[in-house]
Amino acid sequence: MNYQMIGFVIGRILWTEAALLLLPELTALLYGEPLLPFLGPIALLLLAGLPLRRRPKQTALYARDGFAVVALAWVLMSAFGALPFVVSGYIPNFVDAFFETVSGFTTTGATILTAVEPLSQSILFWRSFTHWIGGMGVLVFVMAVLPMTDGHGMHLLRAEMPGPSVGKLVSRMSDTAKILYGIYLVMTLVEIALLVVGGMPLFDSCIHAFGSAGTGGFSSKNLSVGAYDNAYFDVVIGIFMLLFGVNFNLYYFLLVRRFRDVFRSEELWAYAAIVGAAVLAIATDILHMYESFAQSLRYSFFQVASIITTTGYATADFNLWPTFSKGILVVLMFVGACAGSTGGGIKVARIVILAKTSWGDMRKMLHPNAVTTTRFEGKALTDKHIRSVHLFITVYLIVFTVSFLLLSLNGFDIVTTFTAVTACINNIGPGLEAVGPMGNFAGFAWWSKLLLSFDMLVGRLEIFPMLLLFAPSIWKRRRIVWRT
């Protein structure tokens, strides 16, 4: 374990967070709001990073160091990021503020606030800005700005980026990170511009663009996007949510004119098919609740886009929709967005691989001697890949089940408990019943909030970094000898 290098990277991340806090500080300055809620944490972050500023001689980070760095960085960032809420007095309880910040960074969008409109502009800005930072990942950002390690850095990227197989776009990791952040930034700016053109105030446009770019879901309105009741906003935000749910590698391929790779992306087709089918099914199912098909299509489209990309914005209280529609939405919660996007969930790529291998294995039952190879994105899948997908799903289900059982101790009804865990582990935000789109997580006990915070981090970091943080061999200095 390279403790010194882990410390160094963590120190740099804390300083990066301090720099990022300058933006809400600026907002506070613009709106004439108190500056202390941000100045305090900035000073604290700078101070905390000070003893870690020395770059160690040995800079290699191996696999376990990578996992440890990523998990620790996210926990620490959330802890420090919660301070503005506490200091400003809007969320005096630290556990609540921690939940809110974790929900922000992991792009979940679950809130413990019963009303968001009383919050000051700068706090609202920080709350949504955490989505934008967390969407693409902090370590990716730090790598883009400061190249840190000589080698083995791939472990860091892999631990933070969502998806079953993480590749680089270009050979330099820092260049890859720059390209990704470049695409991310430009798309966010385009969305802000489109919303402003449609008549949304600039501040609200930023908030909702951050929310949809990171596929987070924090809004500045109690009624979420539904507060505007504007079809143009619904369409713009809906489309952009779907766009941010697409693998970012495809945008890079578009940029370098590799159109064929985009067109042939199996995951993209599957994603489009799932979205299309779900939109039509729900639109038909809720037709009787609205005046016209166009109306029901509008609400159905927005909600499907919001849920499959794990954003969690709402234009309608889908808690009141028929059970079939709610069922589809809950299934979509598990499916999630594409690998390599800012969205959460199991990811379309894994679902496709799982479906294909299951089909192949079943065919083998009928023809025991048949040779089956499963192909994905035009390449034959190796056993290692398939096993890693199976492992992911298995561990995912175990974590889900344990969390569900523990949360049920809190005494809520079964739908609330189930969808609360679903919404948190898949980084969506709203669930059904008490935690539905118009509800919130305020009613949970403090330990439930910590459990759900853990689930959100598990979901965002794709399970293993958070779980491996508890593996003894990560922290023990000596090798553990297993006696049998």
Partner 1 sequence: MKIIIVGAGKVGSALTQQLSADGHNVTVVDQDPRLIDNIINIYDVMGVCGNGAVYGVQKEAEVEKAELLIATTSSDELNILSCLVAKKLGARHTIARIRNPEYEKQLRFMRDELGLSMAINPERAAAREIARVLRFPAAMKVESFSKGRLELVEYRLPADSALDGLQLADLYRNIRVRVLICAVARKGETIIPSGDFILRAGDKIYLTSSPDQLAQFFRHLGVFRSKASTVMIVGASKICYYLTSELLNMGMSVKIIDRDEQRCIQMGEQLPKALVIVGDGTDSDLLHEEGIGQTDAFVAITGIDEANILMSMCASKESGNHCKVVAKINRKSLVDLVSNESMIDSVISARSTTTELIVQYVRAMESAEGAKIKTLHRLVDGAVEALEFGVTADVPFIGVPLKNLKLRNGLLLAGIVQRNGKIIIPSGNDCLSLGDDVIVVTTDTSLQDIHDICRE
For partner 1, what does the binding mask look like between residues 371 and 390, x meaning CB under 8 A? Answer: -----------x--------
Min dist. Cβ of residue 84 to partner 1 (A) = 35
For position 173 contacting partner 1 by CB under 8 A, the verdict is yes
For position 259 contacting partner 1 by CB under 8 A, the verdict is no
Tokens of 441: 């997580």
Q: Which is nearer to partner 1, 5 or 332 (CB)?
A: 5
Q: What SS3 class is residue 32? A: coil
- Among 153, 245, 344, 465, which residue sits at the site for partner 1 (rule: CB under 8 A)? 153
Total binding residues for partner 1 by CB under 8 A? 14
Distance CA 61, CA 150 (A): 9
Min dist. Cβ of residue 11 to partner 1 (A) = 21
The tally of CA atoms less than 13 A away on the side-chain side of residue 386 is 17
For position 168 contacting partner 1 by CB under 8 A, the verdict is yes
Q: Which residue shows structure tokens 């720059």?
A: 178
Distance CA 439, CA 113 (A): 9
CB 339 within 8 A of CB 353: no
Min dist. Cβ of residue 157 to partner 1 (A) = 10
CA angle 99, 100, 104 (to 5 degrees): 115
Instruction: Return the number of other C-beta atoms located less than 10 Å from residue 438's C-beta.
Output: 16
For position 155 contacting partner 1 by CB under 8 A, the verdict is yes
Return the range that interacts with partner 1 (CB under 8 A); candidates 83-91, 165-173, 232-240, 464-472: 165-173
CA angle 466, 142, 16 (to 5 degrees): 95
Q: Which is nearer to partner 1, 131 or 155 (CB)?
A: 155
Q: Which residue shows structure tokens 């006990």?
A: 445
Q: Which is nearer to partner 1, 53 or 172 (CB)?
A: 172
Please report, as residue ranges, which positions from 90 to 149 form the binding site for partner 1 (by CB under 8 A).
none
For position 411 contacting partner 1 by CB under 8 A, the verdict is no
For position 171 contacting partner 1 by CB under 8 A, the verdict is yes
Q: What SS3 class is residue 380? A: strand
Distance CA 293, CA 62 (A): 55
Please report, as residue ranges, which positions from 22 to 51 form the binding site for partner 1 (by CB under 8 A).
none
For position 262 contacting partner 1 by CB under 8 A, the verdict is no
For position 63 contacting partner 1 by CB under 8 A, the verdict is yes
What separation in angstroms does the CA of 37 have from each of 46, 88, 218, 329, 462?
15, 5, 20, 38, 32
Q: What is the DSSP letter of 167?
A: -
Distance CA 181, CA 176 (A): 9
Return the range that interacts with partner 1 (CB under 8 A); candidates 2-10, 164-172, 357-365, 450-458: 164-172
For position 56 contacting partner 1 by CB under 8 A, the verdict is no
For position 405 contacting partner 1 by CB under 8 A, the verdict is no
Contacts to partner 1 by CB under 8 A: 63, 150-155, 168, 170-173, 175, 382
